[in-house]
């Protein structure tokens, strides 16, 4: 898998529109080993492989049905891990990932304990494969099915002690209606549908984990707001739920605001009236037959946000310390 990730053909496939179908392996030792592991069939790679900071991650490719597809991309996880490093939060005693996908983020931390949750059973199967691939001990890892809207099951976190870091890379794409974005990206009309559930879960964890000495949270997301006034909906929502002065909002100016055809693009922040309709150009997610109706639906959504005093879109992170 490592040799595959380093090969120029695979790197080109991963970065372009070719990733809409399975990667075709060239004959050789890597192809034979991948076939023997069951990862390749008749010369085709059945999954996508990402390599980050020396760790390997098997996950779905974008050809898998959007209803059950496991998140294919690892750049958001790279951003989250970098931010944790800048905050000095890279080595907590425990990590709780509220939407772990294949484990890109949770398996990237040096932590004694990991709790990895997701609503998609297929993601949990990949998370277990990746735990084994990266030699993370079974005894220190819990991988469990959970909908963040139900909170965090108390029994899974009761024994945690010391510094506990909660990470959340929830679906945060703005969706004009359901079905436009895949399960991994649909954050409702304002991108915050599941971010609100994360905040409720954090408030409950603070009440229920008295033996934890430090509870920290690091979340990624998109938010509507006003660039001119430096006013963004999501950090305001965090402050309203968890208390003023606890949330540190970072607008990620160096990170493009959207993902189109697998690649991030667009200035961050951007006016919603430019950014949202551009999502209809994504050939990986939007078919030709529905492209124009999706574009119109996004234009209408941008207009609704503008009318409510939110003309812009920003991609950023919120860090919270719930001591």
Ligand X SMILES: C[S@@+](CC[C@H](N)C(=O)[O-])C[C@H]1O[C@@H](n2cnc3c(N)ncnc32)[C@H](O)[C@@H]1O
Instruction: Give the interface with ligand X as residue ranges (CB under 6 A).
Output: 71, 76-77, 99-102, 104-105, 118-120, 123, 147-149, 169-171, 183-184, 194
Q: What is the CA radius of gyration of the chain?
A: 20
Q: How far is the C-alpha of 317 from the C-alpha of 248, rounded, in Å?
A: 8
Identify whether the C-beta of residue 61 lies closer than 8 Å to the C-beta of residue 49. no
Give me the least distance between CB of 68 and ligand X, in Å please: 9
> Nearest residue to ligand X, using CB?
101
Give me the least distance between CB of 194 and ligand X, in Å please: 6
| Closer by beta carbon to ligand X, 264 or else 273 | 264
| Closer by beta carbon to ligand X, 193 or else 227 | 193
304 contacts: CB under 8 Å, gap ≥ 6: 189
Phi, psi for 144 (deg, rounded to 5): -145, 150
Residue 21 CA, distance from chain mean position: 22
| Closer by beta carbon to ligand X, 121 or else 243 | 121
Instruction: Output the six-digit token pair for 245.
Output: 């002065």
Give me the least distance between CB of 145 and ligand X, in Å please: 9
| Closer by beta carbon to ligand X, 182 or else 269 | 182
Bond prior to 269 in cis (omega within 30° of 0)? yes
Q: How far is the C-alpha of 208 from the C-alpha of 204, rounded, in Å?
A: 6
| Closer by beta carbon to ligand X, 101 or else 311 | 101
Give me the least distance between CB of 323 and ligand X, in Å please: 25
Give me the least distance between CB of 90 and ligand X, in Å please: 16
* Half-sphere exposure in the Cβ direction for 116 (13 Å, CA): 29
Identify whether the C-beta of residue 4 lies closer than 8 Å to the C-beta of residue 48. no
Q: How far is the C-alpha of 228 from the C-alpha of 314, rounded, in Å?
A: 12
Give me the least distance between CB of 320 and ligand X, in Å please: 18
| Closer by beta carbon to ligand X, 132 or else 323 | 132
Instruction: Output the six-digit token pair for 22.
Output: 């399975």
């Amino acid at each position: 898998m490592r040799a595959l990730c380093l090969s120029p053909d695979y790197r080109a496939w991963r970065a372009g529109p070719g990733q809409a179908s399975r990667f075709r392996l060239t004959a050789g030792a890597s192809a034979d080993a991948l076939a023997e592991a069951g990862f390749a069939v008749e010369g085709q790679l059945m999954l996508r492989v990402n390599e980050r900071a020396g760790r390997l991650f098997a996950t779905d490719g974008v050809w898998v049905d959007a209803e059950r597809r496991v998140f294919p991309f690892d750049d958001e996880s790279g951003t989250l891990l970098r931010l944790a490093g800048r905050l000095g939060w890279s080595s907590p005693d425990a990590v709780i990932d509220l939407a772990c996908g294949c484990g890109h983020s949770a398996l990237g931390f040096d932590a004694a304990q990991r709790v990895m949750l997701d609503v998609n059973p297929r993601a949990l199967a990949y998370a277990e494969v990746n735990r084994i691939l990266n030699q993370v001990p079974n005894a220190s890892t819990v991988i469990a099915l959970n909908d963040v809207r139900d909170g965090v099951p108390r029994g899974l976190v009761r024994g945690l002690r010391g510094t506990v870091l909660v990470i959340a890379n929830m679906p945060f794409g703005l969706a004009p209606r359901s079905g436009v974005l895949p399960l991994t990206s649909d954050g409702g009309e304002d991108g915050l549908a599941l971010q609100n559930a994360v905040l409720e879960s954090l408030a409950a964890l603070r009440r229920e984990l008295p033996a934890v000495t430090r509870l920290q949270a690091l979340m990624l997301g998109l938010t509507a707001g006003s660039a001119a006034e430096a006013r963004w909906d999501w950090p305001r929502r965090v402050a309203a739920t968890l208390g003023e002065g606890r949330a540190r909002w970072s607008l990620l100016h160096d990170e493009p605001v959207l993902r189109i055809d697998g690649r991030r693009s667009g200035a961050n922040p951007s006016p919603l009236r430019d950014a949202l309709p551009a999502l209809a150009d994504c050939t990986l997610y939007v078919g030709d037959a529905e492209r124009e109706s999706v574009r119109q639906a996004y234009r209408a959504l941008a207009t609704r946000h503008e009318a409510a005093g939110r003309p812009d879109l920003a991609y950023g992170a919120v860090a919270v310390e719930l001591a």
